[in-house]
Structure formats: C-alpha cells, structure tokens
Chains A and B, each alone.
Chain A
C-alpha cells in the first residue's frame, strides 16, 4: 500500500502508574476507515481512545497522525492537530449551560473567520444534518438522550473534521435510534470523507458499519486481533474474538472457568 495510514499506533503501552492496562499495541487506521476498538468491559477501550486524543500520555510508544508524531508534539502543534478532529463523548459532553445552538456555535466562534450571520446559517445546516433543525434554542436537559447524542455529533462536525472519534455512540439508545445514528455516521463519513474511530461493543453497529477493527484482550493485556470484524468473526484464530463477535456467552463463561 503506497498510501500513508491516517493514524498509526506504534508499540503503545498504557498504564495507570504501576497498573498495566494494555501493552505493545501497534496498528494502523487507514484514511476513510470506520475503525472500531472492541473488547470486553474493563479492557481499556476508552483508555486507548483517551490516549489517541492526547488526554493521557502513553507509558511507552508513539501515536502518529499522517505520519507525524502526536505524542512528542509540542502543545501548540497538538492543538493544531486536534482542530481537525471531531469528538463525541460517552455522555455527549454538551455544555449544559448553553443551548444546543450555542454548543455548535462555540467551535466556529473559536476557530473560524465566519461572520455572525454565516455562523448562524452554518449552525442551522449542521443541526439539519443530524436531524435537529429547529432545536437551536433548546437546552441539553430539555431534549432526549438520543437527540443529545446527535447534538453532540453536530458539534463534532462543526469544523468539518478529518477524523471523527466516538466513545460508545449508541450506549443507552434504543435499537431504532441507535441504528439511525449508525446510518447517520456512515452518511456523514461518506459525504465529508472523514475517518471514523469509535469505541463500542454494540455488535449490530460493528457489523453494519465498521470495516476495520482491533480487539483488546483483558487477560493477556494486549491486542489479539486486527482486521474487518466480519472476517474476524468467521476466520479469527482467536476463539475469544470469535466468541465475542458471535456473542457466545456460555462458551466465554466456560473459558473463564
């Protein structure tokens, strides 16, 4: 492959002090991928995402974006790299003291040279993209959980990012809302051409939208599978991964004993 991977994880070890979370993680996320970080509860999925976002420093190894080291970058260039990202957090991360419209407006006020009127129009457009047109004046507490997730998505795409990060996008949503959200993620990804990285263990969304993935194992504390989740389900040499993806709870329980 001649094309440079969009994100590269090189020998990353994650630890909270002496407590090791995961070690020797090395994988690539290609441009335009919908990449899923999978694994059982407590294996360090969200921790890995926080490392990729630079909220936590890796204990060892490097994370590269477009071939440039993020881990070793100085704070100013880190901020510049982060500007090309859109992030939605597990519980949305919307500012509760601002209306939905103000939440989406904020990044544009900070980082673009749009005029007031342009910002207003673009905010309307971004909210229309996530199906929330007309909800500008609502506070996050006045809308439902699914709408909050979509509002957070509107804020994440405010600056037309290259990479979209999602931490459990469909956690706490009903199957219909969660599949609508998945569909929306795919549509947006295709139209704005972004790379999507998400942490999830919702099997339906993994199979319907992901085309690349990594599986973190809690016992051996490292990654044990990498590739398209559909292929991993059928052909992985790791029984744990096949069980996880085929949802064989009883077999997994047997294994644990």
Chain B
C-alpha cells in the first residue's frame, strides 16, 4: 500500500459556503500542505461558513490535527462558522479537546524606549541599587555577628565545623599543587632578570616576599573563590529552589544567622591557615628552582632567614582575612538572592565566582596602595 500524498481541495457548495475536502495520508515524512497557503485562499474567498470533509482521508497523525486546529482558530478569529464532517472519531474528539480552552494571549511587556535603556543614569542607578543591596547584606551579616557575640544567634557549631572541613582539609590537594607551582613561577621569573646582575641569590628574597605579601594569598583566594564561593552559591541557591530558606525564615530563624554566618566564619578561619600553608609550599617551590640554578639549600635558607620579617607575613595574613569575607559574602549573597530553578542556580554560581574575583583584585590593589602609603 503506497502512501498517498496528502492534499486538500476547496469546493464552493453554495455561494460563500465552502467545503474543505481532505485526502491522502497526513503523516510524518509526507509533504503536508501549508496552512498559510490555505489561509490566503480563504481570505480571498471570504466564506461565510466552512465545512471540513474527511471522508477520503487515509492515515493521519498529529500533523493533520495541527492543520485542523489552525483552520479552527482561523475561523473563530474571523467569526466563520466551522463544522467538521466524516472525520475519524478520535480526530473529532481530539479537535474538541484542543479547542475547549481558548488560546491565551500573553500580555505585552512594556519595553522601555531605546533612549532610556542607553541612558547612563539608568545603568548608574542599577549599579547603585546593587551596591545598596550588598551593603544591606553586609549589614545583616553584622547584625547576625553581633547577635552571635552576645550569644543570641541561631548558629550551630556543627555547621561551622562541617564548613571548616569543606573549606580547609578538602582543599589541601589543590592548594598544594597551585602554590608549589606559583613559587616555581616566581623563581623562574626572577632568575632570568637577576642573572643579568649576577645576583641569583636574591631569588630567595623575591620568592619569599612575593609569596608572603602577594601571590600566596591571592592565588589561594582565587582557588577558593572558584571552589568554595561557587559551592556556597549553589548550596544556597538550591535551598532557595526547594523552599528550604522559606522554611527557615518561617521557623523564626534568620537565614543569615543559620546559613550565612557559619559559612563566612568557616572561610574566615580557614583561608588564613591555607594562606600560611600556601606560603610555605611556595617557598619550597622556589627552592626547587633555586637548586636547579646552582644555589645550595643552605644558601637559600640562609637568604630566606635574612629576608623574612613579620611585616611581610602580617600583610599577607591581613589580606587573607579581607579576601575570606569577600569570597564568602559574594557566594552567599548570590545564593540567597538566586531565582528558583536549575538555570537560576547556575547563574548564581557563575555570578558568585565572577563577583568574588573582581572584588579580590580591586581589594588587593586598594590594600597595596594603602600599605605603600603607610610605608609597610
């Protein structure tokens, strides 16, 4: 049995009363007639009633139904009486079900005019709103912290310990790898330049000061922003999706105290510790390169002992405290303000990492200028 090409024919039974006969197999892989073609014919003939006749119809599937539905919608839009005869029983029923509910019109969204969208003031205002939200979030965090200090906050120690474990020991492997490599990179960077002056031994100073003041803390913070900051945003975003945050709020517990504080505090404790660890491994990484340049371990360690000072160490440590707060706040804020649904949680995580890294670099530059002015 060869499939027959689907077709339709418009027959004028009486003046302005049209009959639409359908024939052939209206199934997939056949050239189904276009409704727009029929539509223009109908518009040209401007009928007063339309009857569909399906008596010579062969096989059919959803494509026929889609065509019939379009005919029906066209007729109801043009207020032409529509009737269907000799359609297969189930097709008739399906058409009834499909036309039972009138089509919904999506309300037009009012888009602001182009001029307004390009207006720098609008962009500035949204930036201002964003900034205010951040400040408000920090304020909430401050209130939570004050309540924690006075012992009235609903923050659980077990949560804090759990997040400490996640942010600290779990990150050892990746921090070890990155900081040894950063130490080596610093040493190579200095080696080439210092060799010109015959001052290779100062590689030790370069690595030590570079790691302690700058690279140790910055690299650790960037890794943690990608690792822990994104995790915070995803956790809180998923909780928002599951209405867990609503549940916490309606239990009379502040989500900031219950969810955000333990995360922020955990990172605040763990990031300085990780930074110290990264500093140590960075110096070891530098030693490996120095050894390759012909500097003995003894020379290197003596030079390190000469160069080390509490000031450099404290500069790095102070930065790590600031960075920890920035990463945790960026992550938690994105998570708390996340929309609902899988796409929104993804956006929140991306947002958390991007914001955190921008914050980190800006804060690092600001603190460097500050310390420079103070002469530290």
Contact = CB atoms under 8 A, between A and B. Distances in A.
Q: Residue among A121, A126, A128, A141 with the most chain B CB within 10 A?
A: A128
A129 B102 contact: no
Nearest to B99: A128
Contacts of A134: 103-106
Interface in B70-102: 70, 90-91, 93-94, 97-102
Given A96-B341, A135-B104, A188-B97, A124 B69 contact: yes
Nearest to A131: B101
Contacts of B341: 96-97, 139-141
A118 B90 contact: no
B343 A97 contact: yes
A193 B61 CA distance: 12
B106 A121 contact: no
A96 B97 CA distance: 27
B340 interface: yes
A192 interface: yes
Interface residues of A, number: 33
Contacts of B308: none
A122 B66 contact: yes
A253 interface: no
B342 A129 contact: no
Contacts of A122: 62-63, 65-66
A133 B65 contact: no
Contacts of B32: 118
B226 interface: no
Interface residues of B, number: 33
A66 interface: no
Contacts of A19: none
Contacts of B343: 96-97
B165 interface: no
Contacts of A117: 34
Q: Residue among A133, A134, A138 with the most chain B CB within 10 A?
A: A133
Nearest to A96: B341
A119 to B, nearest CB: 9
B28 interface: yes
Contacts of A121: 35, 63, 66-67, 69-70
Interface in A187-212: 187-188, 190-193
Contact of B94 (A113, A114, A138, A191): A191
Nearest to A187: B97
Contacts of A188: 97
B155 to A, nearest CB: 31
A95 B342 CA distance: 8
B54 to A, nearest CB: 15
Interface in A94-143: 95-97, 112-114, 117-118, 121-122, 124-126, 128-129, 131-135, 137-141
Contacts of A138: 106
Contacts of B98: 125, 128-129, 133
A113 B339 CA distance: 36
A132 B104 contact: yes
Interface string B322-359: 00000000000000000111111000000000000000
Q: Residue among B66, B93, B106 with the most chain A CB within 10 A?
A: B66
B342 A97 contact: yes
Contacts of B69: 121, 124-125, 128
Interface of A: 95-97, 112-114, 117-118, 121-122, 124-126, 128-129, 131-135, 137-141, 160, 184, 187-188, 190-193
Interface of B: 28-29, 32, 34-35, 61-63, 65-67, 69-70, 90-91, 93-94, 97-106, 339-344
Given A96-B342, A128-B101, A131-B101, 4 more contacts: A96-B340, A113-B29, A126-B62, A188-B97
25 contacts: A96-B343, A96-B344, A112-B28, A118-B63, A118-B66, A121-B35, A121-B63, A121-B70, A122-B65, A122-B66, A124-B69, A126-B62, A128-B101, A131-B101, A132-B101, A133-B104, A134-B106, A135-B106, A141-B340, A141-B341, A160-B61, A184-B97, A188-B97, A191-B90, A191-B93
